[in-house]
Structure 1
């Protein structure tokens, strides 16, 4: 494990975007695992800048004072989903499929044809979980997985007590996680109670894991992860 401390969220986004760009250059049809929420947004902005040939750099330099290079070709890049709410209708703006389409696929010029994700609208959720596991294996596995961490230490929607061998499955959201996610909805009552999430065992099969955490609200969770028992 390598721990890298950067001055701000923009610099963290640039660092990870550079790793993704190197991956795509080396393997144009790489499978990139993406996360949702506010934390990874600097990654996606920095990656989109590279795709469109805009100046890139560290921190504030990315606003237009960095170095400009040739556009990054992501036309063969594939994208997969870490988790999905259960029960939100197709097309709901806060379904993670919709969020990823809006925040990742569209800025990168990718279509949903390049996307893999579990179906949270299925009546048989365990079957949807098993099918998604099979799709990931058939796709050759995840080359690089972007992760965030919750204020209580959850990764994906795996709470700290989750088994290291766990696979993609349905999980009940904790009250804390629902409260954390309520900012994306009109009220707490609208936040779903269940999600599909890749398990820790599934996540650990990715060839490269990158976890980004920013802000004082994540400090305790990061300290426990890095320095805890």
Structure 2
């Protein structure tokens, strides 16, 4: 696990872009595993800027997103499908047919998506305050594949800011790639910013590998880069 600490969020986004760009430069038809939430917004802005200024092409790129809420319309402003279009897809030359965001509410839907996710060259991750990656909450088995998740109250509380600060509007379930699916990626890039992530970052990097902190499994990945800002790194001992 390679750990990079940056001064602030802007520096984090630029360092994360360097890692992503190296993959795209080496393989113009790369398969990207993508994530949503506030953490990757700066990275996506850097990717769009690079496309506009330097002409980096996404026409042969294929993407698979980590997760999506269950029971939310694809065109809802808070759907992850909408998020990806607003922050990345509609600003670059990617073929919409090459973009994949999970959708559905059944085990069959999850299995179908899991079967599609193959050959991911780099998987982008954030981390939840409780150490979750994707929507894999504490206690999720490390070999779990794409599945339907009951979201914990802490996760729903953390996401209520996107739903008028009303937890009752936050969906109770999500469809998420499992930890086993995530770990299949050739390279993993995890980014985290802010003091609220400091405990989870410490447990991920310095704690035991345990399902109580799902992200700790990344210690076992052969090629994992973790980029955190100073606040998120504030509880690391070294």
Provide TM-score, normalisation by structure 1: 0.87
Shift of 1:37: 0.6
Structure 1 counterpart SS, 2:38: coil
Partner of 1:206: 185
Partner of 1:105: 89
Partner of 2:63: 79
Partner of 2:115: 134
In structure 1, distance between residues paired with 2:82 and 2:187:
25
What do you get for the CA RMSD once the two structures are aligned?
1.2
Shift of 1:112: 2.3
In structure 1, distance between residues paired with 2:125 and 2:73:
25
Relative to total residues, which structure has the larger strand share, 1 or 2?
Answer: 2
Q: Which has the higher contact order (CA 8 A, sep 6+)?
A: 2
Contact 1:148–1:213 under 8 Å retained in 2: yes
Partner of 2:202: 223
Alignment partner of 1:16 is 2:16: yes
Runs of 4+ more than 2 Å apart:
107-112
Provide TM-score, normalisation by structure 2: 0.83
Q: Deviations over 1:144-179 (max 9, x none)?
A: 111000111111111232111010000100001001
Aligned length: 207
Pick from 152, 167, 174: which aligns with 1:188? Answer: 167
Gaps of 5+ in 2: 209-238
In structure 2, distance between residues paired with 1:39 and 1:90:
21
Shift of 1:111: 4.2
